[in-house]
Structure formats: C-alpha cells, structure tokens
Amino acid sequence: MGGKYKIRVLVVSEDEVGVEPLFYCLDKEGYRVFRAGTGEEAVHLATAEPPDLIVLDQMPSATDGPKVCRRLRREENISAIPIIIVSVRNNEEDIVAGLESGADDYITKPFNPRVLVARVRALLRRYRRGLSEGEEVLTFNDLVIHPGRHEVLYKKVPVNLTYSEFCILHLLARRPGWAFTRYRIVDAVRGENHVVTERSVDVQIVGLRKKLGDAGTCIKTVRGVGYTFVE
C-alpha cells in the first residue's frame, strides 16, 4: 500500500547552512523538501520531477533571484508551478523586480514561520483549487480560458502565463465590465493580509498584457479604481 502523498517543495538556495530554518519550517509542516544550489540545478530537478511549489531563497549578495525565476518560467512543463521568493531585500524596487520576474509571492526576511506556512498553504490551496475546479470555459472571440486546466489559448496558440497572471485574467474575465480594485485583485490571487502596492499589481498587468499580445487590449485601466475586462 502506498503512503500518503507529500507535497513536494523545491527550495533554491546557494547557502546550505543558512537555509536550514526555511527547511525546518516546511518540513515541520509535513512537506517533502529538497534543495537546488543553483538556478541550473533547479531547472534540472524541477523538469525531472516537478514540485508542487518552488521557493527561491535569495541571499543578501545575490542578484539572480529574479533571473532564476524567469529561467523557470521559460520551461513550458513547469511554468505554471507557484513560485515564492524569500529575501532580505525589502524595498519596493526589489519586491517589484521579483514579482515582475514571474514570482507569485515575495516574502521578506526575517519572516514569522507561521506567516510563511500560512502563505504557502494559501498559494497551494488556490493553485490546486484552480486545477480541480470544473468551471466553464470562457471564450472571447480568439481568446479561450480553460479554468480547470489553467490554460489560455489565443488564436489556438497556448499563452504561457504564470499562476498569478492566469488568476488575474480569470478573475477579470469572469465578470466583463466590472471594475476590480487593485486590493481586490491581490486578495483574489494571493489572499488577504498581504502588503499591497499599486505598482506590484500594475507589474502583473503589464506582463499579462504583453503575453496576450493583441488580446491584451481586453484589459482596460479604470482610472482611480483598477482594471476591467472588456469583450
């Protein structure tokens, strides 16, 4: 008889010793945690046996956290896996850079273990719920959104979106014409009690529009409010 499935978390960190508190925190929660020391190793491990979640542990002197994130997002088979960046860099520019690179969440050090676990749980819960939900397919001319498969097609060609980008598009497309505030968007994608800046949401929207190409015009800015989806 097979044992109970353990959620697999890939931690990417060059610091084998410094990453121990993060390992302990996740292991205590019952997750199966394994480490990659470099970005290349992370891509190799993730493609060989895709994890349920990836945590990028960015060191103070490291500048390649976002670079590794972008590298992971370019791999088609693992591009939708939720990614969290954990970093000592806590200024807005670094947070925006992390989110812009494709991360679904950004947690600053030092972190409260309970808060970290809560945010990991929330991200996994929303991701798995999205995969299992049998919601109807949304079709807008050449743009097709498959909620259950986390798949978007434009002119029958797959659009490679991150988890957060997909959630934002799905949120807006479910209620065409409805104006969503930036706070509402963040609550829907990352859950409540997150530090919200207008720019962090705007970064996600810019990336989403760019990937959608001509279809990106369906996402309109509502001045003073947020964003809306137009058919």
Specify whether 36 is located in the same domain as 124: yes
Q: Mean of the per-residue pLDDT values for the chain?
A: 84
- List, for the chain, all residue ranges whose pLDDT scores fall below the cut of 50: 1-2
Cα–Cα distance measured from residue 108 to residue 170, given in angstroms and rounded to the nearest whole number: 28
Specify whether 12 is located in the same domain as 119: yes
**Number of helical (H) and strand (E) elements in the chain, helices listed first:** 8, 12
The size of the chain, in residues, is 231
Q: Is residue 2 part of a domain?
A: no
Domain boundary pick from 95, 129, 163: 129
Specify whether 116 is located in the same domain as 145: no
Specify whether 154 is located in the same domain as 202: yes
Specify whether 102 is located in the same domain as 12: yes
Tokens of 163: 């988890």
Domain boundary pick from 129, 164, 195: 129
Task: Quote the number of domains for the chain.
Answer: 2
Cα–Cα distance measured from residue 161 to residue 79, given in angstroms and rounded to the nearest whole number: 7
Q: Of 31, 24, 23, 41, which is closest to residue 4 (Cα–Cα)?
A: 31
Phi, psi for residue 100 in degrees, rounded to 5:
-65, -30
**What confidence score (pLDDT) does residue 2 get?**
46
Cα–Cα distance measured from residue 199 to residue 206, given in angstroms and rounded to the nearest whole number: 10
CB 216 within 8 A of CB 209: yes
Specify whether 120 is located in the same domain as 145: no
Cβ-based neighbour number of residue 42 at 10 Å? 24
Q: Is residue 148 part of a domain?
A: yes
Mind listing the pLDDT tens digit for each residue in 165-183? Answer: 888 999 899 889 999 988 8
CB 52 within 8 A of CB 76: no
Q: Is residue 206 part of a domain?
A: yes
Cα–Cα distance measured from residue 30 to residue 108, given in angstroms and rounded to the nearest whole number: 23
**What confidence score (pLDDT) does residue 199 get?**
75
Q: Of 28, 36, 74, 79, which is closest to residue 57 (Cα–Cα)?
A: 36
Would the pTM count as exceeding 0.75?
A: no
Domain of residue 78, residue span: 8-129
